[in-house]
Structure 1
Amino acid sequence: MLPFHCIHYAQLSAMEQRCRRNGVSVEGATHKQVVDLIKSGGDCLTLTVISVTQQEADRLEPQEDQTGYSYIDYSDKRSLPISIPDYSIVNRNGERYIVFNIHMAGRQLCSRRYREFANLHSALRKEFSGFNFPKLPGKWLFQLSEQQLDTRRRGLEQYLEKVCAVRVIAESDSVQDFLTDTEDDISASPVDIKVMLPDHEVTSVSVKKSSNAQVVWEILVQRANLTAYTQQYFYLFEIVEYNFERKLQPHEIPHQLYVQNYSTASSTCLCVRRWLFSVSKELTLPDGEQAARFIFYQAVDEVNRGNIRAEGRLYELKALQDAKKANDYLALARTLPGYGDVVFPHCSCDSRKEGHVVPAVGMKSFRLHACREDGSLEAQMVELTWDSITSSESDEESMSFCFQYNRPDKPPRWVKVYTPYHAFLADCFDRIMEERKWEDSGD
C-alpha cells in the first residue's frame, strides 16, 4: 500500500483520485469522510479509479491556471420564446430580396436575410468549436417557391430555437448583434406594435422602429379612431411593474421598450392610460364619449388594485360594474379616496430612516404613505397640499425626485424620494400645475 500511495497515487489526476474506496463512492465526500472510510478497511484498501483523458479531466474540473484548453459550459439551458412567424419581400436600392422576421414572445426584434444566418452560423462554429450545432437549412441557387421559402423559414426558426436555448451562446456578442437592429434596419423596416386600450382591447399599429412615442401616439389615434377628448386626456404608457404603468416621454422609442420587455405576462407592455387628474374636467365629457368609457374601465381597474379605496362600498361598486351602468359606477367611485390619483410603487425616502413610502399624486394633494420595505402599509401618512409645495425637480444622477414644501413656523424643507420613476413623478407634478391653471382660468 505504501509504495502505491507514494508513487502511483500521486500521479493520478484529481478526477481519478476520488472515485471509489473500499467499494464506496467518494464523489463529493469530504477529506475526513475519505480518511474514516480508509481506516474502516483495516490493513486493506481497495481503490477504484477510472482513467480519463487530460482534456476530459479539465472539462470536469477546470484549473484556474489553464493556458490551453478552455472549458465552456453548454449544459446551462433555458427556453426563449424566439420565433420566425413569417418573411417579407424587400425592394431596396434596386435589389429585391427576402428577409425573415424574427420575433421574441410575439414581438418583432429584427429582419434578417438567409446569408446573414449563414454568416452567424459560421461565426458561432468558430467561436464555440466544442458545441454540436444543428444543421442550417441549405443554400439554394435558384429562386425558391412559396413552399420552399416556408420550409426554409421553419428550418431557420428551429435553428435559432436550439442555438438560443444554450445560455452561453445566446448571450454571445455574435448572437446579440444578430438580434439587434442596425441603423439601416431601424430606418427601413416597419414593424407592428401592439397597444392595449383601457377597455383591454388590443390594437396593432405599423410604425418605423425608430418612431418616437409622439409619432406612435399620432398613428394610434388614427388607427384606433380615438376622439379629440381621448387625444387630450390620454396617452401612451409602459407597463413596468405589476399594477403600475408610467407615462412615456414623447422622445422615447416605444419599439425599444416593446422588444426589451418580452417577458411581461400581457400581450404587450404598451397601453393607453388616463392622463387627467381634474374630476371637474372629467365631468364635462359628453354622454357616450369614448374618453368617458375609457375612464370607466380604468376606474374599475383602480378599484380592483386597491388604489381607489372602496371602504365598505365594494359590494355596491361590484353591482354597478357594467358598461351600461358606467355613469352610476363613476358617480360612486368619485366619492371615494384615491379616485383619479396615480399611486407609485413603494420606494425609499430621505425623510424616513427606516422603511419605505408609497407616493401618490392627486388633484387635491401629494401624499407619502409610510410602509415597510416589503410594501406593507403602515398608519403614518404625510399629506401636502399643492399650495404648500414651492419647488420640485427630477434628479437623474441620484435617481430621485426632490421637492420643497413650506412648514408652519419652520423653514422650508427639501425631501428626496428615491424612485426609478422620478421623471414620471415630475411629469405628474407638472400636469397637476397645468390643470390647476385650467380651473383657475375656467378653461
Structure 2
Amino acid sequence: MNVLLLGSGGREHAIAAALVKSPLLDTLFAAPGNPGIARIGQCVGLDAADHASVAAYCKANRIGLVVVGAEAPLVAGIADDLALAGIKVFGPGKAAARLEGSKGFAKDFCARFRIPTAAYGRFSNAASALAYARGKGAPIVIKADGLASGKGVVVAASLAEAEEAIGMMFRGGFGAAGETIVVEDFLEGEEASFFALCDGARAVEFASAQDHKRVGEGETGPNTGGMGAYSPAPVMDAAMSRRVMTEIIEPTLKGMTELGAPFRGVLFAGLMIGREGPKLIEFNVRFGDPETQAILPRLEDDLLALMLACANATLPDRPIRLSACTALSVVLAARGYPEAPLKGAEIVHLERAEAKPFVTITHAGTRLEGTRLLADGGRVLNVTAVGANVAEAGARAYAAIDAIDWPEGFCRRDIGWRALQRP
C-alpha cells in the first residue's frame, strides 16, 4: 500500500525509516518531508493545514494510510476530515486530541477519571493565577493551556519566577495558547516518557524513553523541544510499566470512550516517577521528538502493520517486539538555539558519521542547496546509536558526532547521565 507521512522533522524521518522496512509498503510519500526522508521516499508539497487538499492527494495517489507526525494537525481535526473522505489515519480525532491540545482539559479529565497527577488550578486572568500561586508557594509549574511547540511550560523555582511566567503568558508570550493557563504543584521524582498504541478499545504497551529538555548540560538553561533521549528508561521496569498501564493508560482509554471520543493512535504519557508511584505530567497524542529517534531503532515488529491495526481497531493482544539493546539519540542543534538559532551554515562529512556501525542519522532541520547540506532549523540533526547499554550507545553516538564537520552546531555531551549514575 501507499502511505502518506505528514511532517518534516527528525521524528518523521525516524518513522519513515521504520515504515520502509515493511513488506506491506509500496511507496512512501512525505509532506513536506526533508532531505533525509527524500532519500527513502517521495517528498511532496502539501500543506497539512489544508485538509481538503490532503484528502484529494490521498485519493489521487491511492494512499492506504496517512500517518500524522505532529500534534497541530491532529488538534485541528485532520483525522476526522480524512476519515469522512474514507481515508485511514494513524492518529486520534479532534475530540481525543484535546488531551494534548488543552492542558486544562487534560487536567480536568484526570480529575474526573481518577488518573494520578499534580494538584492544579485553571485560570483565565493573571490576578487569580497569581493569588493561587502565592498561596501554594514555590517551586510551582506554570503551563500555557494550548499548543506552544513544546515550550509552553515554566518550572518556577521561586515566586518571582512564577509571577513573571504568569505575566508573560497573559501578555501574549505564547499567543492564543496562553489565553488560559494551568498552575500546578511541582512533582518530585524521575521523569520518563511512556508510549502505548491504542485502537479505541485496546491499549498495548509500546516503549519507554527518557528525554533531556533543557539546553545545557546538567539540566541547565531554558527548556527546548528536547536535546536527546535514550530508550528504554531504566526507571520503567516491568512492575512500573504495569502500574502505568493500569493506573494511567487504561483509565484514559476508557474515559475517552465514555466521552464519545475513542482514542486511536499512540498515547504518550509524560510521567514523574516518585515515592507514591507514577503521576502524569502531561499527555501527548503523537510520538515524541526526540524519543522516537531512540525508540524505533529498537523496534523488531512491523511499524506499518501496527499502525494499520490501530486504525482498524485490530491491535494484537500480545507484547510489541523490541530489542533488549539500548538506543541513545543526541540532538545536534544550531548555535543560538532555542532563542535565535543560526541558519544557513553548511554541514560537511555527514557520510563519515553515517558509515559508522550501529549509527543512524535523522534530519530534523536541514535543506539542500544544490549538493550542499545546510542547517535550516534549531534542532538540525539527530545522531542515534544502538549498544548493549547506555554507555556503549552513548560512546558510539558521540564518536559519530565527532566525525561531522559543522562548527556552527552544538550538542549536549551528557545525554544519558541519569542512567549512568544509577547504582
Higher relative contact order (CA 8 A, sep 6+): 2
TM-score using structure 2 length: 0.27
Q: Which has the larger radius of gyration?
A: 1
